[in-house]
Amino acid sequence: MSYKNQPRLNLPFTGHCTFAKRPIVECDENIDADFAVIGVPFDMGCQYRSGARFGPRSIRQASTLFSFGHNGAYDHERKTLFLPSEQVKIVDVGDVDMIHTDSEQSLNNATKAIETLLQSKTIPVILGGDHSITAATLAAYDSYSDIHVLQIDAHLDFVDERHGVKYGHGNCMRRASEMGHITGLTQLGIRNTSSSSSSDYIDAVEAGSTILSVQQCRKVGLEAILETIPKGKKVYITIDIDGFDPSIAPGTGTPSHGGFLYYEIQELLEKVCQQNTIVGVDLCEVAPAYDPAEVTATLAAQLLINLIGYIHHYNHEDVYV
Ligand SMILES: [Mn+2]
């Protein structure tokens, strides 16, 4: 609230808790914004600890810290003002409607919501939710013909079907690879035990995936990683927060030691935004119940704000089909 034309200091802990304290708008085909943030608070796809349904709220809360700048975020290392407020418009369209006990309906709602955002010609920035949501959000891109998916994750998520389950958080990249519009995958950070079997790894490679563990990424280096993503191609980025090390991202359902650290992924994301057109972003598996110091939500918010800044700054015109 303001008092008749009185200017506000608007500190991060005050006011309405939207993403980066950006305005709320309805999710429809007439959104006038460069980026639309949307939550998919779905965690019925978990195989271990649930709680990612509260991920969108925790990321929004953490993101208010990064609403500090009064005219964007000046980066002294790059001598660049990211997200200048007059030039880039970010809105928060709230959350996809969830139907308890009904995964199919809930995930279909996610697909419809992302289709709507794409019709509005705004770039979706999607807050999970467990990683099941990515199969649903990618399905919305079926009018595109040639998308490469960049996945940051501890787990391959390439299980075909087990006990009839095809749309859990361990199946999402398999489902993505089956879509005609997904023509390649780069899967980074994959390590330790997961629900994917050795044949799933073989199938992923056959489907056009490059799989690198954290150790392998460190060995080959950033430039070699970037070569697995065809230059100029449209890219969808999916970040499972458990791709990071649990020492910096404990607040997640299936943590896995030996993960990435902040700069490894921040640098990768910036370079990908330079060489590719980013058509959408999701960040999944933040579960605030296991995040007592809120460092996981802070990491998620910081990554997303930086990523939005890079996408806008390196501006590729050909986002939409
Ligand atoms: Mn995952």
- Cβ atoms of 287 and 49 within 8 Å: the answer is yes
Cα-based torsion angle of the residue sequence 249, 205, 273, 317 in order, rounded to the nearest 10 degrees: -140
Average pLDDT for residues 44-73, to the nearest whole number? 92
Average pLDDT for residues 257-273, to the nearest whole number? 97
Instruction: Report the C-alpha gap between 105 and 135 in whole angstroms.
Output: 14
Measured in Å, residue 156 CA sits from the centre of ligand 1 at: 7
Cα-based torsion angle of the residue sequence 310, 62, 55, 119 in order, rounded to the nearest 10 degrees: -40
The reported pLDDT for the residue numbered 87 is: 83
Average pLDDT for residues 88-110, to the nearest whole number? 97
The reported pLDDT for the residue numbered 73 is: 83
Measured in Å, residue 184 CA sits from the centre of ligand 1 at: 17
In 3-state terms, the chain is what percent helix, strand and coil (to 5)? 35, 20, 45
- Cβ atoms of 294 and 138 within 8 Å: the answer is no
Measured in Å, residue 190 CA sits from the centre of ligand 1 at: 9
User: 19-313 belongs to which homologous superfamily?
Assistant: Ureohydrolase domain (3.40.800.10)
User: At a CB cut-off of 8 Å and minimum separation 6, what does 159 contact?
Assistant: 165, 168, 170, 171, 174, 195, 196, 197, 200
- Cβ atoms of 42 and 129 within 8 Å: the answer is yes
Measured in Å, residue 161 CA sits from the centre of ligand 1 at: 16
- Residues lining ion ligand 1 (Cβ < 5 A) are 131, 153, 155, 157, 240
Measured in Å, residue 132 CA sits from the centre of ligand 1 at: 8
Residue matched to tokens 């019925």: 44
Measured in Å, residue 66 CA sits from the centre of ligand 1 at: 26
* DSSP 8-state symbol, 165: B
The reported pLDDT for the residue numbered 317 is: 73
Tokens of 11: 């500190």
Measured in Å, residue 145 CA sits from the centre of ligand 1 at: 24
What is the percent of the chain with per-residue pLDDT over 70, rounded to a whole number?
Answer: 98
Measured in Å, residue 309 CA sits from the centre of ligand 1 at: 24
Q: Which residue has the higher pLDDT, 15 or 315?
A: 15
Report the chain's mean pLDDT, rounded to a whole number: 95
**Residue 91 banded pLDDT, cuts 50, 70, 90:** very high
The reported pLDDT for the residue numbered 84 is: 82
Measured in Å, residue 114 CA sits from the centre of ligand 1 at: 19
Q: Which residue has the higher pLDDT, 9 or 35?
A: 35
Measured in Å, residue 153 CA sits from the centre of ligand 1 at: 5
Average pLDDT for residues 40-63, to the nearest whole number? 98
Measured in Å, residue 155 CA sits from the centre of ligand 1 at: 5
Average pLDDT for residues 66-83, to the nearest whole number? 83
Q: Which pLDDT tens digit goes with each residue over 176-185? A: 999 999 999 9
Average pLDDT for residues 11-31, to the nearest whole number? 94
Tokens of 286: 């933040």
The pTM score is 0.96
Instruction: Report the C-alpha gap between 248 and 252 in whole angstroms.
Output: 11
The reported pLDDT for the residue numbered 7 is: 84
